[in-house]
Amino acid sequence: MNIMQNYTTWKNKHLEDKDLMEELESISDNQEEIKDRFYRELSFGTGGLRGIIGAGTNRMNVYTVGKATQGLANYINKKFKNPHVAIAYDSRIKSDIFAKESARVLAANNIKVYIYKELMPTPSLSFAVRQLKCSAGIVVTASHNPSEYNGYKVYGSDGCQMTIDSANAVFYEINKLDIFDDVRRMDFNEAVKLGLINFISNEVFEGFINAVSSQSINKDIKNKDNLRVVYTPLNGSGLKCVTTVLKRNGYSNIHVVPTQEKPDGNFTTCPYPNPEIKEALEEGLKVCNETNADILLATDPDCDRVGIAVKSNGDYSLLTGNEVGILLFDYICKSRIKNGTMPKDPICIKTIVTTDMIYPIAKKYGVDVIEVLTGFKFIGEQIGLLEKKNEDYRYIFGFEESYGYLSGSYVRDKDGVNASLLICEMASYYLNEGLTLIDVLNKLYSEFGYYKNTMKSFTFLGQSGFEKMQSIMKDLRNNPPSSFIGNSVISVFDYLSGKRVFKDSSVETLTLPSSDVIKFELCDNMSLVVRPSGTEPKLKTYISVVSNDRNKSIDLSDKFSKYFENLFSSK
């Protein structure tokens, strides 16, 4: 079916959602708008679905969500007897509607549903899947995307976001369906009466809070009230869980940012609710200045990631995900060794685009490092593999550069609630020693070298942009540069073909799963990684340099950034 036929089919269906009908009518004379909505279907992968809310196959709406859920239901019913699925959702526009739509479809397929009564963080969904022994889980969120986006992530029975094989199997089932004719639905209230849809109890919430609290390493730190904390949930789902955990663990000197306290899918005070960027933290920084806070915590809308700013020399400095990860890893290691709680043969897990500064620190403390593909689901997968061998006790920390952290095995995803507790504990620990986190970070740089990690995103909108991204990746594979701004390439990791090609043309087989990622290993312990985003129309580049001189590292990183800007703009 071509684009116009698809558009006409949708328009003639007289959809129950009036918003969608009005949108379809409004674009009737605009070929480009029609094309953008119908030139493809939202792709389902390890990141589930993610897209702009609206009408069409390339949009998030009750029909694309319903089709994905029907495919999931078919997959689950083939794999499990008497299956159960847990559902959570965040504050985004129509998140509650999409969550209920998913529940309706599952119930119509005789799959028992457990759904949270109120918006909850993504990690609490991972916890509920494991706690309630579910066959799968769904969380409706678009993480840190702008307000016009929403998404749909699927978790396996282990509480881990679906990895490649499982996602492909669900995708196979989805592709067999007609979006209108093959999706079963049941009235939500009727399904509740029949016991097919159940609300998740407060016991599960308390279990999650207790599991997070159990990750405290130095429970008896003195003067916890001396730590002045400003917290913003960025109008998302983190407020209840984060403040409850902090207060129960003795961190009661908390000021919540009033303009970002309540759920608001429009994110009016932070159009891009991403704790990685300063603009999203401006409201929080105002409150920091008013309260003379020591630290700002900001969780993204689904509260699986956290960004921070810390007071230093009278001003507030934002730390990167890599810097916070390094600080936490060092703190966990030194504290567990001091407390006698470091396990035998401890393990830290990081993604391939996360800072290599982890390696010298891990060597100092005798910790093994496992490297996985980009995405915390692959960290969760490794925790699961350890659990199958009864060795999950070895796992002490996992993190990724995009502000995701986890110190325990109670969930299989990054956890902004867990990270918020550990960050406050760490800050309080050093505050008692008269140190800020900036002071500690600079000590680590002095000891191990100044690692500068920079991520640059390049946006490619619409069908033409999608095709341009594919062309760039193909060209980098087929014609890899032998050097970048005078720095020679030692080897090229092509994770799609599973090969590492060296300068002398020798080849090594890679063991990680196939993925559309290219890594260039350069001289002097530098690397460059290029990959398309799995959830946004962007190419992402990850620049990693190290030097004993801070200014040299910054200058070199800036030159690589400019190189990619020129390269992609010329394509």
The arithmetic mean of pLDDT across residues 147-156, rounded, is 96
**Of all residues in the chain, what percent carry a pLDDT higher than 90?**
88
* Average pLDDT score over the chain: 95
Q: Is the pLDDT of residue 544 over 90?
A: yes
Given the structure tokens 């969120």, which residue do they identify?
141
* Alpha-carbon torsion angle 345, 349, 350, 355, nearest 10: -30
Asked if 487 contacts 520 with a C-beta cutoff of 8 angstroms, the reply is no
Rounded to 5 degrees, φ, ψ at 257 are -65, 115
- Give the confidence band of 461 by pLDDT, cuts at 50, 70, 90: confident
- Min mean pLDDT across 7-16, 164-173, 234-243, 535-544 is at 535-544
Residue-range domains of the chain with CATH? 40-200 (3.40.120.10), 209-448 (3.40.120.10), 450-569 (3.30.310.50)
The arithmetic mean of pLDDT across residues 175-188, rounded, is 97
Rounded to 5 degrees, φ, ψ at 488 are -70, 150
- Alpha-helix runs per DSSP H in 88-238: 95-108, 122-131, 164-175, 188-193, 202-213
Whether 143 is a known active-site residue: answer yes
d(CA 500, CA 520): 10
d(CA 567, CA 149): 29
- Alpha-helix runs per DSSP H in 436-540: 437-448, 462-478
> CA angle at residue 78 from 73 to 80, to 5 degrees?
90
Structure-block tokens of residue 474: 């193909």
pLDDT digits (tens, 9 = 90+) for 54-101: 999 999 999 999 999 999 999 999 999 999 999 999 999 999 999 999
Q: String of b and e for 225-246 (b: at least 16 CB within 10 Å)?
A: eebbbbbbbbbbbbbbbbbbbb
pLDDT digits (tens, 9 = 90+) for 507-528: 999 999 888 999 999 998 899 9
Report DSSP state, residue 343. Answer: P
The arithmetic mean of pLDDT across residues 147-174, rounded, is 94
- Min mean pLDDT across 13-27, 188-202, 410-424 is at 13-27
pLDDT digits (tens, 9 = 90+) for 249-287: 999 999 999 999 999 999 999 888 999 989 999 999 999
Please count the other Cβ atoms lying within 10 Å of the Cβ belonging to residue 565: 13
d(CA 9, CA 212): 49
- Give the confidence band of 413 by pLDDT, cuts at 50, 70, 90: very high
Q: State which amino acid sits at residue 315.
A: D
CA 469 → CA 33, 466, 533, 571, distances in Å? 21, 5, 10, 9
- Give the confidence band of 379 by pLDDT, cuts at 50, 70, 90: very high
pTM attached to this predicted model: 0.93
Residue in 91, 102, 126, 143 annotated catalytic: 143
Q: State which amino acid sits at residue 419.
A: A
Q: Is the pLDDT of residue 388 over 70?
A: yes
- Give the confidence band of 535 by pLDDT, cuts at 50, 70, 90: low
